[in-house]
Amino acid sequence: MDELTAPFRPRFARVVTLVLAVVVVALTIAIMLALSILTAGDRLGFAIVGGLIAAFLWRQASVVARVDDEGLTVRNLVFTRRLEWAEIVSVRFGSGRPWVQLDLADGDTLAVMGIQRADGAFADSEARRLATLVALHTTTPRDD
């Protein structure tokens, strides 16, 4: 059951964004040290911009969907949302979708950026795992 309830995280996007974050920090430091004509304000500006870019990339790398007995917590790029199992009507991952989409009981939809099309077959299996979890937690004695 541990494999079934493991967090949903992207693979490809996570690696790419973490590598880019390291490159941005390294280049920011290199520029700040290499250009002796920069004033203290310029260096501060470079540090702030480089830090903001690295923070954005870190947030992208940290998207995840966590499972527990009560529901699913989806942390996307900007927002984190907690869902009870009963709120999730279906899991969709059709062709052309960049990530899994949940249909919710209130008529809304929610993207799950922790399962991304860029991961290919792994993403397909993760979408099936999420659909299995939803089915297991929303089963009723009668099929109405």
HEC letters along 76-94: CCCCEEEEEHHHEEEEECC
C-alpha span between 90 and 7 (Å, rounded): 19
User: Which letter does DSSP use for residue 70 in this model?
Assistant: S
Structure-block tokens of residue 80: 């984190």
- What is the pTM assigned to this prediction? 0.82
pLDDT at 94: 81
φ/ψ bin of 96: left (φ > 0), alpha (ψ from -120 to 50), beta (otherwise): left
| Domains of the chain, residue spans | 12-61, 64-137
Q: What is the pLDDT of residues 107-130, one digit of tens each?
A: 999 999 999 999 999 999 999 999
Question: Does the 64-137 domain belong in CATH 2.30.29?
Answer: yes
